[in-house]
């Protein structure tokens, strides 16, 4: 822990406490989050398994996924060092937005960003297993999402001393409630719950206590959606929240959906600028800057260049569907490729 100066506690979860720290080694005293997890009672094999998850995440570099830098033992605790998301959680952003709903296009921009991040991980056969607004972090301006906790919280929930602590059940899928195994389609259910919550600012499945919430999930009794949500978007939510996981779309099905595709292309264009030569990076295109001027709440990826901490790739992985952008403005933007995996 000598490498980090502890500044303040930013939050507590079921398994530990998150400290905002300054890295003493970096020339900029870079701010990072150090999550300290009590590993009391864990066998060496279990501890190695959790460290293994973190090592796997250290290899993932994506602008929409929290970067993991290091992990080590510190006084009976496992310390996980990760990127600091200054905007806090999506859960808090939703609370602060109430009672005025987000514009549908704002929700679709957030939703598509989450899809792109999930696509990156699912294409590497990594499932999140605990997708919920608390695990979706935001940049300072709340324009960019950063998914965190891939695999880690579930790894902990089965192995750590805190395994009796039950996290929020509202995003659990029917198959998990029924004790069946987890797969990528289970993330899609949780994604449907997050989508609903962004649109309605309340949870899709709610109740007074754990059994009543589980009952609603297993019966598929979700809260209704208001008329402010367009029929196309309502249909997408219903497709994600299908009881039969096989009938749910996967990430690649959604990325080529006509409602989502324009958002995918726009976000991809913004991501592409990260790979542009330095002189171009400093000069946002007029369309982007005018969007920023006229609609301050419009989400763009422009500030990625400022917020990303490492060289990031903008490739939206792989393909059997290949979507090419017909761009007449002579900008060189790599084709978006999406794999059906």
- 7 near ligand ATP (CB under 6 A): no
User: 143-162: which residues touch ligand ATP (CB under 6 A)?
Assistant: 148-149, 153
Give the count of beta carbons closer than 10 Å to the beta carbon of residue 96: 9
Q: Which of 19, 21, 23, 33 binds ligand ATP (CB under 6 A)?
A: 33
Q: How far is the CB of 284 from ligand ATP (least distance, A)?
A: 26
Shortest CA distance to 228 belongs to which of 201, 207, 260? 201
Torsion, Cα of 288, 292, 298, 304 (10° steps): 60
**Binding track, positions 85-104, relative to ligand ATP; x by CB under 6 A:** x--xx---------------
Q: Site size for ligand ATP, by CB under 6 A?
A: 24
Which residues fall within 8 angstroms of residue 305, CB to CB, at 6 or more apart? 273, 274, 281
Q: Which of 34, 36, 80, 82 binds ligand ATP (CB under 6 A)?
A: 82
Question: Per the residue annotation, which of 2, 130, 270, 280 is the catalytic one?
Answer: 130
Q: Which stretch binds ligand ATP (CB under 6 A): 77-85, 194-202, 217-225, 322-330?
A: 77-85
Q: How far is the CB of 219 from ligand ATP (least distance, A)?
A: 25
Q: How far is residue 212 CA from its own chain's centroid?
A: 27
- The verdict on whether 130 is a catalytic residue reads yes
- 15 near ligand ATP (CB under 6 A): yes
Residue of this chain nearest to ligand ATP (CB atom): 13
Closer residue to ligand ATP in complex, CB, 9/103: 9
Taken in order 178, 182, 188, 190, the sign of the CA dihedral is: positive
CA atoms within 13 A on the CB side of 107: 26
Q: How far apart are CA 111 and CA 292, in angstroms?
A: 20
Helix 231-240 to helix 104-122 angle (10° resolution) is: 30
- 84 near ligand ATP (CB under 6 A): yes
Q: What residues are paired with 96 via a beta bridge?
A: none
Closer residue to ligand ATP in complex, CB, 123/135: 135
Token output for 15:
């398994």
Catalytic residue positions, numbered: 130
The residues binding ligand ATP (CB under 6 A) are 10-16, 18, 33, 35, 66, 82-85, 88-89, 134-135, 137, 148-149, 153, 167
Binding site residues for ATP, as ranges? 35
């Amino acid at each position: 822990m000598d490498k980090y100066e502890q500044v303040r506690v930013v939050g507590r979860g079921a398994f530990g406490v998150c400290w905002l720290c300054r890295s003493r080694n970096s020339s900029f005293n870079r701010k990072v989050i150090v999550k300290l997890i009590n590993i009391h009672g864990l066998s060496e094999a279990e501890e190695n398994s959790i460290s293994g998850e973190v090592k796997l995440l250290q290899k993932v570099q994506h602008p929409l996924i929290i970067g993991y830098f290091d992990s080590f033992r510190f006084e009976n605790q496992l310390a996980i060092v990760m990127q600091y998301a200054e905007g806090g959680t999506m859960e808090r952003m939703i609370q602060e937005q109430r009672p005025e709903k987000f514009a549908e296009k704002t929700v679709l921009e957030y939703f598509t960003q989450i899809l792109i991040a999930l696509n990156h991980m699912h294409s590497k056969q990594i499932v999140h297993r605990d997708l919920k607004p608390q695990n979706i972090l935001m940049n300072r301006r709340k324009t960019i999402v950063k998914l965190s906790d891939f695999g880690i919280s579930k790894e902990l929930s089965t192995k750590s001393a805190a395994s009796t602590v039950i996290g929020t059940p509202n995003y659990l899928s029917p198959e998990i409630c029924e004790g069946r195994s987890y797969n990528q389609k289970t993330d899609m259910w949780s994604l449907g719950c997050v989508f609903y919550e962004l649109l309605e600012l309340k949870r899709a499945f709610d109740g007074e206590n754990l059994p009543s919430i589980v009952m609603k999930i297993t019966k598929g009794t979700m809260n209704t959606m208001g008329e402010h949500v367009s029929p196309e978007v309502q249909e997408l939510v219903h497709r994600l929240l299908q009881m039969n996981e096989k009938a749910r779309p996967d990430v690649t099905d959604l990325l080529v959906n006509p409602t989502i595709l324009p958002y995918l292309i726009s976000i991809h264009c913004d991501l592409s600028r990260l790979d542009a030569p330095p002189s171009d990076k400093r000069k946002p295109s007029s369309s982007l800057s005018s969007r920023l001027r006229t609609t301050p709440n419009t989400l763009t990826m422009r500030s990625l260049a400022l917020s990303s901490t490492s060289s990031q790739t903008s490739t939206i992985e792989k393909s059997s569907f290949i979507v090419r952008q017909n761009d007449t403005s002579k900008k060189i933007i790599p084709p978006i490729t999406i794999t059906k995996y």
